[in-house]
Amino acid sequence: MVLASNLGYPRIGEKREWKFTLEKFWRHDIDEAEFAKRTKAIRLEALKKQQAAGIDVIPVADYSNYDHVLDTSVAFNAIPKRFGNFDHQLSLTEYFAIARGTKDHVAAEMTKWFNTNYHYIVPELDDVNFKLLDNPWLTRYLEAKAELGIDGKPVILGPVTFLKLSKLHDAHLTTAELIPLLNQLLPLYQQVVKELAANGVEWIQLDEPSLVTLTDPKQLQLYRQALAAIRAAAPELKVELQTYFERPDYLEDILNFDVDAFGFDFVHDHGTLLPELKALGFPAGKILAAGIIDGRNVWRSDFSQKTELIKDLLTVVDSDHLWLQPSNSLLHVPITTKNETHLDPTIKAGIAFADEKLGELKVLTDFANDKDVAAEIDQQQAALQALNTSEHRNNPEVKRAVDAMLQSKVERHSPYKQRVVAQESLDLPLLPTTTIGSFPQSKEVRAKRLAWRKKQISDGEYKDFIKQETKRWINIQEDLGLDVLVHGEFERTDMVEYFGQKFSGFYATDNGWVQSYGSRCVRPPLIFGDVSWSEPITVDETVYAQSLTKKPVKGMLTSAVTIINWSFVRDDLPKNIVADQIGLALRHEVKALEDAGIRIIQVDEPALREGLPLKAKYRQAYLDNAVEAFKITTTGVKDSTQVHTHMCYSDFEDILPAISALDADVISIETSRSHGESIKAFENVTYDKQIGLGVYDIHSPRVPSVEEIKQNIHRALQVIDVHQFWINPDCGLKTRNEPEAIAALKNMVQATDEVRAEVSVGAV
């Protein structure tokens, strides 16, 4: 019989109960006992849903209090020495200190999980002393069994992927560095699986997604060694080797690994996996765990395609050796559509969040087991047909406008060397200081927005409040001595969601929350149809802010590819076509800002690298499309208008040509949380435009000292000419509180003033 399997479920709770529990603990409103009680309820509710949905193989230990990579680090004592030496299971305070930093110690680095918008805490292995401080996989397994009778499948991050995600001396591990660390780590994995087997665990899900990025076949031996060690320690334990987000290469070798099930992603494999499996043949007696439901997007599955895929899969394995599952953990999608009460019925019928995906999985599993699900299949197909033929997805004017734009030369009027002369009229000092865009959204800001949404205050009252906050922060910025100001974005909940509320073809959900990092949850908008611009979106707020100061105020927009990567994008068109539609809509907004007298316009592209395909052979086409969409947005302005862009949490060296091709006058890039590693990308490359390498980390509540910021500036000036360099924080300040933000910016301005003084006497 074909079984339904899941790989992971969202942690946050239907109404973000998890987020609020974390933040109450951080504010000391609840203690560890109350925290444990509340988070246990969230975990059990998630398991009950999967149980009720008829999932046969339910994951446990996929939950985390912050991040599953951090959980693996603290379980194995891979803890940065600055946080102390440990011989015990960490308390919550000790655990969160690593992720968030303390007054005296910077947080561990945070970066994107493969090509998603989820952030993980990067393990730091300098002077590591691996030892088992905790076995959370056993704890969660026993909890599920005792409370709900679920004989679950513990989800464990595999040892090779864990090490490949780690850093040693601020760099990713070489193979030579990885091998001895793997040898030290494997005995602890063996201890974990021994304890699991001794307590009755039948299956574990060993996640090794780094297999899909493997380019050196010699490294297959590392995975083989790890699996052999696990088998030797607990021969009775069954192992599902799980990959996702792409397909692995070297498939013939991988199919010879000593595991009981192979988990492959049949959604993001570019259609290449099944033909190769047919050609190679699947190993006898092994289970094929086939990811056939898209775990990264929210559109209903096309059952006509999925049922054909199932038929094909059953030519590779028999029904007793096939599991059907999502392509990856459902961590990356919202929980349920039932709370979307304002959504157009045609659109709502075409989307599936985590709970609905479990329902789809059950229908498809029943189909595979020859049960009568014709009515369910017909109903779903009718819903998809209604969406695809609706006017939402068939606006000929949008297609004509994009085609016409692409017929023209999408470039700035003049090369950068001429533009920079025209931009001297901005009268900016050496080492100009600015921020990335957003300022703290206080309780009062959020309360006013909620009251406005509930129609408890009028549009006029809300706009007046936004103006008051804008004016207050313009004054704060002037008092601090910043050179280029921003209006603060108090009217925006999220840099993508906000535009999703304004463009046609978008829908901003009511409760479509997903975790981004820590307790930070975002609501990716749905791009359900053709995208167009109808009226100015950001002009009023920006022009009002500019009227309050003689210093330049930046217009703040989000670029097309970031909107794409942080949205749930319609799957009936190629993404590059959707990006061009958004780029053209944004072009109208850029022109409206310039016509209103705004001289600096920032078009943020923080997710450019995030969307980079995991396989090198697909990357250039993606980058070419990203550059095209960005230029559609930005190339209609005068030479004297300065275009900025911002990027964060990326390894930049391999995409520097694309960054340069964007042809922005100024880029700003995160560097401080990566301890300056991003700066290395510029050591061997001459970057000819202006750049701000973020000088302090905004994701941590700690306030950096003047000296610390000066060190970061000096580090950057070793590779960037002083006349090209801008001073700014790593990212927007929305998530910080006001005293933290002001104190950090004050130190940033003071550090800049001191470096300027040093420059004047040639001391850089």
Give residue-wise pLDDT tens across range 493-528: 888 888 888 899 999 899 999 999 999 999 999 999
Mean pLDDT calculated for residue range 452-469: 93
Mean pLDDT calculated for residue range 177-197: 98
Task: Tell me the C-alpha distance between 463 and 458, whole Å.
Answer: 9
- pTM score, whole prediction: 0.89
CB count in 10 Å sphere of residue 291: 26
Q: Helix H segments across 27-64?
A: 32-52
Reply yes or no on whether the pLDDT at 417 is more than 90: yes
The SS3 call for residue 238 is strand
Domain ranges for the chain, please list them: 64-108+120-242, 433-760
Annotation-wise, does 438 bind a ligand? yes
Give Cβ neighbours of residue 371 (< 8 Å, ≥ 6 apart): none
Please give the mean pLDDT across all residues of the chain.
Answer: 94
User: Starting from the edge strand earliest in sequence, which strands make up the sheet with 504-507, in order?
Assistant: 504-507, 526-532, 568-569
Looking at 3.40.50.920, 3.40.50.2300, 3.20.20.210, 3.20.80.10, the CATH number of the domain 64-108+120-242 comes to 3.20.20.210
Give per-residue pLDDT as tens, 111-141. Answer: 889 999 899 999 999 999 999 999 999 999 9
Domains 64-108+120-242 and 433-760 belong to one CATH topology: yes
Mean pLDDT calculated for residue range 588-616: 94
CB count in 10 Å sphere of residue 375: 9
| Residue of 343, 424, 423, 347 lying closest to 384 (CA atoms) | 347
Taking CB atoms within 8 Å and a gap of at least 24, the contacts of 223-227 are 223/158, 223/160, 223/254, 223/257, 224/257, 224/258, 225/182, 225/186, 226/158, 226/159, 226/160, 226/182, 226/186, 226/189, 227/257, 227/258, 227/259
The pLDDT of residue 687 is 83
The SS3 call for residue 351 is strand
Annotation-wise, does 208 bind a ligand? no
Q: pLDDT over 70 for what percent of the chain?
A: 98
Q: Helix H segments across 82-133?
A: 92-100
On the 0-12 / 13-18 / 19+ scale of CB atoms within 10 A, 630 is buried
Mean pLDDT calculated for residue range 547-570: 96
The tokens of 642 are what? 């300065």
The pLDDT of residue 555 is 97
The pLDDT of residue 686 is 76
Judge whether 588 counts as a catalytic residue: no
Annotation-wise, does 492 bind a ligand? no
Task: Tell me the C-alpha distance between 223 and 232, whole Å.
Answer: 14
Mean pLDDT calculated for residue range 419-431: 96
Mean pLDDT calculated for residue range 340-353: 95
Per annotation, catalytic residue among 119, 487, 699, 714: 699
Reply yes or no on whether the pLDDT at 693 is more than 90: no
The pLDDT of residue 570 is 96
Of 108-112, 176-180, 225-229, give the lowest mean pLDDT range.
108-112
Annotation-wise, does 628 bind a ligand? no
pLDDT band at 204 (very low <50, low <70, confident <90, very high): very high
The pLDDT of residue 674 is 56
Of 52-61, 98-107, 298-307, 583-592, give the lowest mean pLDDT range.
98-107
Q: pLDDT over 90 for what percent of the chain?
A: 84
Q: Considering only CA atoms, give the Rg of the chain.
A: 26
Taking CB atoms within 8 Å and a gap of at least 24, the contacts of 22-28 are 22/65, 22/66, 22/518, 22/519, 23/519, 25/92, 25/96, 26/96, 26/100, 26/519
Reply yes or no on whether the pLDDT at 676 is more than 70: no
Annotation-wise, does 203 bind a ligand? no
Task: Tell me the C-alpha distance between 668 and 726, whole Å.
Answer: 8
| Residue of 496, 583, 455, 595 lying closest to 536 (CA atoms) | 595
CB 112 within 8 A of CB 51: no
On the CB side of 40, CA atoms within 13 Å amount to 15
Give per-residue pLDDT as tens, 2-47. Answer: 999 999 999 999 999 999 999 999 999 999 999 999 999 999 999 9
CATH architecture of 433-760: Alpha-Beta Barrel (3.20)
Annotation-wise, does 683 bind a ligand? no
Residue recorded with tokens 């980390």 = 697
Task: Tell me the C-alpha distance between 108 and 100, whole Å.
Answer: 8
Strand partners, 571: none
Q: What H or E segment, with its residue span, contains residue 21?
A: helix 17-26
Give Cβ neighbours of residue 36 (< 8 Å, ≥ 6 apart): none
Annotation-wise, does 437 bind a ligand? yes
Amino acid identity, position 279: A
The pLDDT of residue 654 is 75
pLDDT band at 648 (very low <50, low <70, confident <90, very high): confident
Assign 3-class secondary structure to 293-311. Answer: ECCCCCECCCHHHHHHHHH
Annotation-wise, does 521 bind a ligand? yes
Annotation-wise, does 648 bind a ligand? yes
The pLDDT of residue 25 is 97
The pLDDT of residue 320 is 98
The pLDDT of residue 66 is 97
Mean pLDDT calculated for residue range 45-57: 98
Annotation-wise, does 112 bind a ligand? yes
The pLDDT of residue 610 is 83
- CA 678-682-686 angle, 5° bins: 160
Residue 98: phi and psi, rounded to 5, are -65, -40
The tokens of 315 are what? 């030519």
